[in-house]
A and B are shown apart, each in its own frame.
Chain A
Amino acid sequence: MFVLAEMKDVIRVNPEYFRQSLTDSITTLLNRKLANKVVLEVGLCIVLFDITNVGHSYIFPGDGSSHTEVKFRYIVFRPIIEEILIGKIRSCSREGVHVTLGFFDDILIPVNALQHPSRFDETDQAWVWEYPKEDGEKHDLFMDSGESIRFRVTSEFFEESLPTGPPGTDCTVQTVAPYRLIGGINEPGLGLLTWWETPDQEGEEDEIDDE
């Protein structure tokens, strides 16, 4: 779910930071610029991994700052399509189940990718998997908020977000998530972890030893 992304940028260091090493300045500035932000078609940036190349520093007329071209690698959250992840249910709505990983919230499991048949329970505001029992009756499996859920990443969407207007103006603030994941749980083994747990964990290990 985490990858390294190679990037290149020109770093501008203010003269007041000249007393600390250039590497320290670059690290601080890159983390300030990228940490917890989504880069289009790259993913959610977590933290700087390493600096692979530092070019010459230049000072331009009229500006005391130094400008340095750096190549670096950044740790990025970008799950592979088809990857299996474990998250927690944030909430349920008519659209489907919203899942969070703690550091990343924009994951939706749409209605058509839930276990079949599922229904939405209005009173509990939760999706329910109507698991068919052998005797023709059905067993309701609720998907409550906070439960751990295993899902498969099926697609991803990057959205270019526009800068917001200056404070105090009536510019419509954009609330589109810049990076969204769509998941699915319509396969055996996917869904709440408790659905598939073997009732006797210790017995399971013995079985393996026997075989």
Chain B
Amino acid sequence: METIKANSAFLCNYEVMQILQKLKDNTHKKHKREASLATVTYETVHYLQDTECKNQSAQKIQKFLEAMKKYKLTKVEKLMMVNTPPRTELEIQLIVQESEERLSEEDVQDIISIVSQHLLANDNSNT
């Protein structure tokens, strides 16, 4: 076996969740499942269920990325925001390197509201 490219693309938690769930639904119909595949999919889905990706959708993430275009953040920083949506200024500081220089205070507030609009569950009654 050969590795051509160890990292050809990033996936966000939501995409992985979708793929694993589809796999789970499909394999129910087929009788046999591989033990190690079953373990890792079960555990990964279990982990992802506790993250914010269960409230996300492809459209929401797309809209979020559209809205974030003007802030000149790197791909990885945006990916982290999708995976662990920041709710506070402190969390943005952790995700964005040298955020004090790159983002003004208004930017930070705007990002928090964009995040809560697109990436977090809007329905507060459930939480």
- Establish whether residues B34 and A35, one from each chain, have CB atoms under 8 Å apart when the complex forms: yes
* Interface Cβ pair total, 8 Å cutoff: 131
Q: Is the Cβ of A9 less than 8 Å from the Cβ of B2?
A: yes
Complex CA gap A57/B26 in Å reads 27
Q: Which residues of B contact A80 (CB under 8 A)?
A: 76
In which size bucket is the chain A interface?
35 or more
Secondary structure type dominating chain B contacts: helix
In the complex formed, the residue of A with least CB distance to B90 is: A189
Tell me the bound Cα distance from A73 to B8 in angstroms: 9
Q: Is the CB of B34 within 8 A of A102?
A: no
Contacts of B41 in A (CB 8 A): 35, 46-47
B59 contacts chain A at the CB level, 8 A cutoff: no
The answer to the question of B3 belonging to the interface, with a C-beta cut-off of 8 Å to chain A, is: yes
Whole-angstrom CA separation of A101 from B12 in the bound complex: 16
**B43-80 at interface with A (beta carbon < 8 Å):** 43-44, 46-47, 51, 76, 80
A32's closest neighbor in chain B, by CB?
B34
- What distance in Å separates the Cβ of A27 from its nearest Cβ neighbour in chain B? 10
Interface set, chain A 40-95, CB cutoff 8 A to B:
41-47, 49, 71, 73, 75-78, 80, 82-86
Q: Say which one of A121-129, A139-147, A162-170, A203-211 lies at the interface with B.
A: A203-211
Nearest to B38 among chain A residues (CB) is: A35
CA distance A102 to B50 in the complex (A): 11
Are A4 and B94 touching (Cβ within 8 A)? no
With a CB–CB cut-off of 8 A, which chain B residues contact A35? 34, 36-37, 40-41
B11-A36 in contact (CB<8A): no
